[in-house]
Structure 1
């Protein structure tokens, strides 16, 4: 079982054992997983359930958030939220000063303000049935605020493999779409976001076998 550790030399990290004698344990895996699920829910889907006020760009005050989460899990303090976010290699969240937000995955209505995507091509991992429909009507968000695109073919295959044993990959002509006025944002090194991508910018590049 891994734990979240911290020291001045190594910062926050997740590992089974500490890297040096100065490292202190912040929380164990069980607590980190529970906190992660709750944090994801509040910052992406249901802030109102916990009485948390969110800005239009998705930001939440960390002091208020910590107090709200502690009503569900009494041991939670702001330091646990900071440790969870700082040790997350996927970069699901970001912290600025005393504010925090999820970088992607929202179902609540937020207006994210990231930098424009700078990649010529982006990718979407799908299955055969879904891909056929997408090529006809385009990429549109279903249960989320934004369409989530992969920045590499490898990442798209990984995502598509969660939906099918034989994933189908759609390539997005991101440069052309952006030249035509479609906003595509870079959320993380692996994920780009768009409100929708019309079918004329899409093509099938990897079919199931």
Structure 2
């Protein structure tokens, strides 16, 4: 599969496995899973042809490891706006985590911290380079350093999704180091 098709399929899956499964005519279980065969049949009904081999390739080659296939089922690793419980266990975070964003959001973040918005959780990166890539999606990237150790000490709960993205309900402004 060429890279262009890989991106197209990945975005299509993201839309339906994270945000709008009913538009495709599928139903996610309470943890966000759907049978692979059910997904492929639903895609075919929408004239979006995808073989099982192509689906496996998209899951394997996605640079962000957005999807997981297990026991004949597939789900998005995180980022849902639909109501799911990923059944992740709380994990002690490293001292620092990172959040990539665009310059235009800095004033709001300084005032209110990081909020989940339409998603279930705030997404944090384990390293600076990943945060740069995430922040680049919406313009010139800015990387914020989050004092995850202090947050955890003060009772904030962290989770780590299967693809290594750190999740927490919100990040207060006091826990964010802003660039000069």
C-alpha contact 1:135 1:203 (8 A) present in aligned 2: no
CA contact (8 A) 1:121 1:175 kept: yes
Q: 1:117 to 1:85 in 2, by over 3 A?
A: farther
Cα deviation for residue 188 of structure 1 reads 5.2
SS of residue matched to 1:75: coil
Q: Is the partner of 2:99 in helix, strand or coil? A: strand
Cα distance change of structure 1 residues 172 and 64 upon mapping to structure 2, 3 Å threshold: same
**For 1:74 and 1:153, how far apart are their aligned partners in 2?**
36
Among residues 114, 129, 145, which one is paired with 1:139 in the alignment? Answer: 114
**Worse overlay, 39-48 or 29-38:** 29-38
Across the two proteins, how many residue pairs are aligned to each other? 179
- Shift in CA distance, 80/164, structure 1 to aligned 2, threshold 3 Å: closer
The CA RMSD measured in Å over matched residues stands at 2.3
Alignment gaps of 5+ in structure 1: 4-27
Provide TM-score, normalisation by structure 2: 0.84
Aligned to 1:8: none
Shift of 1:47: 0.6
Instruction: Determine if contact 1:117/1:186 at 8 Å carries over to the other structure.
Output: no
| Structure 2 partner of 1:40 | 14
Whether 1:123 and 2:98 are equivalent positions in the alignment is: yes
Any residues of structure 2 matched to 1:71-150 within 5 Å, and which? Answer: 71-73=45-47, 75-115=49-89, 116=91, 118-150=93-125
Q: TM-score normalised to the size of structure 1?
A: 0.74
- Check conservation: 1:122, 1:152, Cα contact below 8 A: yes
Q: What stretches of structure 2 of length at least 5 have no aligned partner? A: none
More helix by share: 2
Given the alignment of the two structures, is residue 178 of structure 1 paired with residue 152 of structure 2, yes or no?
yes
1:7-42 per-position Cα deviation (integer Å, ceiling 9, x unaligned): xxxxxxxxxxxxxxxxxxxxx555434432321111
3-state secondary structure, aligned to 1:81:
helix
Distance 2:86 2:170 in 1: 14
Q: Max radius of gyration: which structure?
A: 1
- Per the alignment, residue 23 of structure 2 pairs with 49
Deviation digits for residues 112-164 of structure 1, max 9, x if unmatched? 23352532111112344422321221110223232111211222233333334
Q: Map residues 12-51 of structure 1 onto 2, 5 A cutoff.
A: 28-29=2-3, 31-51=5-25
